[in-house]
Chain A
């Protein structure tokens, strides 16, 4: 038996003074960035959109554009430093892990066949072997779906299943390094938690290094390890979570972590609207004609209710029934003293003018319209106002959401997700709605954007007083915008009541799972001593 040979391990890669500038860009996308990572280590690159994370992923993965100006060097396994601009194949095995919402799959072919082909290419093995490797990799991941679940086309596959498939494909390649490029940005907190915990587990088991680019704080909490905070192409700070959240961190970093939404066990202050007239009254509502006693409740003017659950739990179906978009199998819904079930289409349309939508689906806005036209439309369509009045209301609404300085003639298609969400709020403000339905408003936004949008929505609620109906899988969003919640699982309400009571003493496993998904104890901010 040979003695083990001890040798000093070289870093897996060393990036030195990396600068990346896109063609015709005013400033570098990444400016004098250096990073060293050892085998089995992980680093979370945390920053807003446009901070330079994408450039880092492109350089490490070798996906750079020929037109980009790149300087700096990269070294693998202690070997010779070579120019980072050289697009030669890296001498280590790198697996790229994208998110399913980035649409990495060809739309007309099955997801499974594409993943198998990727694994086969990376392992230089036949397709049959690659399929078997993928199957084994999936079986090793706790909570992952079976292989056959991936046989559908991307359009027919739910994003969480696709995310499991992508993770299995990455680990099946037995990589030295996984480049995770915002893989779970648009998924619900429960799914994100499960996927991140599995990723961390696989990293321990397989010993690969991990570079995780993200704009959110969940990965920081679940993965731990080193964090590099990046802004405008430069490193602001790096360290572990405890250090970055301490009073000794950079102001930008402290603000980032301070903005972390926390569940609070304190009762909210009364908003004085508990005695408002009922806006929405529901009697015996049963969506699926299951024969049991249906749902009965009332939502008063100015009050707000959160429908909390994972995708497919039935919360959205209830919301659609409450708003008269779908007919329930049984029961009655009365909106503003009018039974929705007996109204004609014309009258229903008139009633719907008092409802506004704010949704995390950016396609809800018409990309062809301009910024101003999007905000003006409810006023022009429903009211006969002069140009000056319309302009006045529009300006006021845009100021409230922080879009007043944008060029009003820009098309919606040219805006980013954050601006589109705020535009939806501005459009809702001018409509002076009685009820606002908010559906996963923070989906796909980075931490900063989420913070600001949370504030915008809270201010809207406080200043204008509409009732809110929130559909979400995130209890922090529910708590920020509502006082009461219904928790959903498998198409049924499993628990209901004031949110604080649910947080303090939840009775159902589904409720507890949803609460745990957003509880990030390792990231509790330091007391306000700054």
Chain B
């Protein structure tokens, strides 16, 4: 188990280094340098060194430290991703399990995947329309919201403002969660051990509980990177649709205004989140599989 964790950590570290190198290369575009591959590589090397020293340069728009700007915006995005992740698990796990019972439901289950694969912005706009027309909420999709609207709050007005982006991100995440769950379950359905253990005397419930469920949950954990990608992507769109400030919204503005330093840093952070989610998921899946000891 320790060896496995160390191997995965090594993979993660390599990935982070690669992401830093890629971000440094993008950021090097912003540095003044002569044309040509050599000068560009040198500039990229300078930026990479800066990254490793936690010097992320300055934003070309505000002139402030890029790290500082991101530190201001990132928590909102992370809160949105976290809340959306909770919704994703609450909705996606039961949906994945429900759609797994019976051959007809299993074959028809892909239809749900299709609906779930619809663009996030369509889902966000549909939710906004439903909230405005059905629930008569004060929804704004055309202008930035007034005042702060923290995700984790008990204020009903603030909750109304955050529910829609959280739901948008959560439903996108739920699609990824239920797909990962059903993929793991379909792989498990093909295994010969189900009939082997059944014939040897275990009940169907025991087989599901002790051998299939860990395999399925392990498969879900192993797909953590995929789920994180879906949540981050959905967060970008949700912040844009509902005019919420955050790192994803900052990224779009950075690219539009050619602030490559800022864009590169945000990309690196998102890549790092995905790599870390992948590491946690794989180690978690392996830990679950190693737990079996009656």
Direct A–B touching, Cβ under 8 Å: yes
Please list the residues of chain A having a beta carbon within 8 angstroms of any beta carbon in chain B.
61, 63, 95-96, 98, 102-110, 113-114, 116-118, 120-122, 127, 131, 169, 173, 181
Residue from the list B193, B202, B218 in contact with A117, Cβ < 8 A:
B202
- Interface CB pairs A-B, < 8 A, 11: A63-B195, A96-B200, A98-B196, A103-B191, A104-B196, A105-B196, A106-B207, A107-B191, A109-B292, A114-B211, A121-B201
Considering the complex, give the chain A residue whose CB is closest to the CB of B292: A109
B211→A106 contact, CB < 8 A: yes
Considering the complex, give the chain A residue whose CB is closest to the CB of B286: A108
A-B pairs, top 4 by smallest CB distance, nearest first, are A104-B196, A106-B211, A109-B292, A127-B294
Instruction: Give the CA-CA distance A121 to B211 in the complex, in Å.
Output: 15
Instruction: Give the CA-CA distance A118 to B210 in the complex, in Å.
Output: 12
Which residues of A lie under 8 Å from residue B210 when comparing CB positions? 109, 117
Which residues of A lie under 8 Å from residue B202 when comparing CB positions? 117-118, 121
Which residues of B lie under 8 Å from residue A106 when comparing CB positions? 191, 193, 197, 207, 211, 215
Q: Tell me if B203 counts as interface (CB < 8 A to partner A).
A: yes
A98-B196, A106-B191, A113-B294 are contacts. A121–B203 as well, Cβ < 8 Å? Answer: yes
B292→A122 contact, CB < 8 A: no
Distance to closest chain A CB from B236 (angstroms): 36
Residue from the list B191, B200, B292, B294 in contact with A98, Cβ < 8 A:
B200
A113→B289 contact, CB < 8 A: no
Considering the complex, give the chain B residue whose CB is closest to the CB of A98: B196
Please list the residues of chain B having a beta carbon within 8 angstroms of any beta carbon in chain A.
191-193, 195-203, 206-207, 210-211, 214-215, 218, 289, 292-294
Distance to closest chain A CB from B29 (angstroms): 41
Which residues of A lie under 8 Å from residue B200 when comparing CB positions? 96, 98, 104, 118, 169
Distance to closest chain B CB from A88 (angstroms): 15
- Where chain B touches its partner, the secondary structure class is helix
Which residues of A lie under 8 Å from residue B198 when comparing CB positions? 63
Instruction: Give the CA-CA distance A173 to B201 in the complex, in Å.
Output: 11
Considering the complex, give the chain B residue whose CB is closest to the CB of A118: B200
Instruction: Give the CA-CA distance A117 to B201 in the complex, in Å.
Output: 9
Residue from the list A103, A113, A131, A181 in contact with B292, Cβ < 8 A:
A113
Distance to closest chain B CB from A263 (angstroms): 35
Which residues of A lie under 8 Å from residue B293 when comparing CB positions? 110, 113
Considering the complex, give the chain A residue whose CB is closest to the CB of B211: A106
Which residues of A lie under 8 Å from residue B289 when comparing CB positions? 108-109
Instruction: Give the CA-CA distance A117 to B203 in the complex, in Å.
Output: 11
B214→A108 contact, CB < 8 A: yes
The residue among A63, A117, A118, A169 with the most chain B CB atoms within 10 A of its own CB is: A117
Query: What would 15 more interface pairs be, CB under 8 Å, given A63-B198, A104-B199, A106-B191?
Result: A63-B195, A96-B199, A98-B196, A103-B196, A105-B197, A106-B197, A108-B211, A109-B292, A110-B292, A114-B211, A117-B202, A118-B197, A118-B200, A121-B206, A127-B294
Which residues of B lie under 8 Å from residue A107 when comparing CB positions? 191, 193
Instruction: Give the CA-CA distance A117 to B206 in the complex, in Å.
Output: 9
Which residues of A lie under 8 Å from residue B206 when comparing CB positions? 117, 121
Instruction: Give the CA-CA distance A445 to B27 in the complex, in Å.
Output: 63
Which residues of A lie under 8 Å from residue B199 when comparing CB positions? 61, 63, 96, 98, 104, 181
Distance to closest chain B CB from A159 (angstroms): 14
Which residues of B lie under 8 Å from residue A104 when comparing CB positions? 192-193, 196-197, 199-200
Distance to closest chain B CB from A23 (angstroms): 14
Distance to closest chain A CB from B178 (angstroms): 22
Distance to closest chain A CB from B194 (angstroms): 8
Distance to closest chain A CB from B200 (angstroms): 5
Instruction: Give the CA-CA distance A185 to B214 in the complex, in Å.
Output: 31
Instruction: Give the CA-CA distance A173 to B202 in the complex, in Å.
Output: 13
Instruction: Give the CA-CA distance A224 to B289 in the complex, in Å.
Output: 43
Distance to closest chain B CB from A62 (angstroms): 9
Distance to closest chain B CB from A522 (angstroms): 31
Distance to closest chain A CB from B63 (angstroms): 54
A63-B198, A96-B200, A109-B211 are contacts. A103–B193 as well, Cβ < 8 Å? Answer: yes
Which residues of A lie under 8 Å from residue B196 when comparing CB positions? 98, 102-105
Instruction: Give the CA-CA distance A121 to B203 in the complex, in Å.
Output: 8
Which residues of B lie under 8 Å from residue A95 when comparing CB positions? 201
Instruction: Give the CA-CA distance A109 to B202 in the complex, in Å.
Output: 15
Distance to closest chain A CB from B5 (angstroms): 16
